[in-house]
Homo-oligomer: A and B are copies of this chain.
Amino acid sequence: MYEGAVQDLIDELGRLPGVGPKSAQRIAFHLLQADEADVSRLARALTEVKARVRFCSVCGNVAESDVCRICADPRRDATSICVVEEPKDVVAIERTREFRGRYHVLGGAISPIDGVGPSDLRVTELMQRLASGEVTEVIIATDPNLEGEATATYLARLLKDMGLRVTRLASGLPVGGDLEYADEVTLGRAFEGRRLIDA
């Protein structure tokens, strides 16, 4: 409906995840009226990300060199590996400052409905890392949903007889939430995982 370049931009923006035709139009007009400098900064950021960012050859996290910052950091505990689905999960866990080990990014979760099986994930790479014998604990931190649980179960079975401590992140009530608003599965898990209070 628009003339050449505007329509091209709307089309390209509309291909991004979570950007519908209306948002694409809105963003395009915003950019049309924005400073030239802002728009070229965005264009440059796009080009740069493809040119500079790759995936860590060890853990699969995003990296700007062959190995990511975390894998390259000698202060991180090499005996503990936290297995996550995506690089953004690494960021979420790093924010907690609770974990000082290393990560392994699977690149997704097992989902038969989407045709994603174990061979589509970085499972072989995980097994290779564990083969060195340095690692003693594997923390499975896949998402607490159907696919994440299926992946956790699959991995737990695979790692069962390797003499490792295999753990899963606790399920329970979110901190700061209201008990009455918790769904029954979460509340059930919170009961199941209840802990003695030290008093």
Contacts and interface: CB of A to CB of B under 8 A. Distances in A.
Interface of A: 1-6, 8-9, 11-13, 15-19, 23, 25-32, 36, 38-53, 62-64, 68-69, 86-88, 91, 94-95
A19 to B, nearest CB: 7
Given A39-B50, A49-B31, A3 B91 contact: no
> Assembly of this chain: how many copies?
2
Given A16-B27, A29-B87, 11 more contacts: A1-B94, A5-B48, A13-B42, A17-B30, A19-B27, A32-B49, A39-B47, A40-B46, A40-B50, A43-B43, A43-B46
B2 A45 contact: no
A63 B8 contact: no
Nearest to A87: B29
Contact of A9 (B12, B13, B49, B63): B49
A5 B45 contact: yes
12 contacts: A3-B62, A3-B64, A5-B45, A5-B49, A5-B52, A12-B41, A12-B42, A18-B27, A25-B88, A31-B46, A32-B53, A46-B46
Given A27-B19, A29-B87, A47-B40, A52 B4 contact: yes
Contacts of A3: 53, 62-64, 68-69
Contacts of A87: 2, 29
A16 B94 CA distance: 26
B28 A18 contact: no
A83 to B, nearest CB: 18
Contacts of A38: 15
Given A3-B53, A53-B3, A88-B29, A46 B9 contact: yes
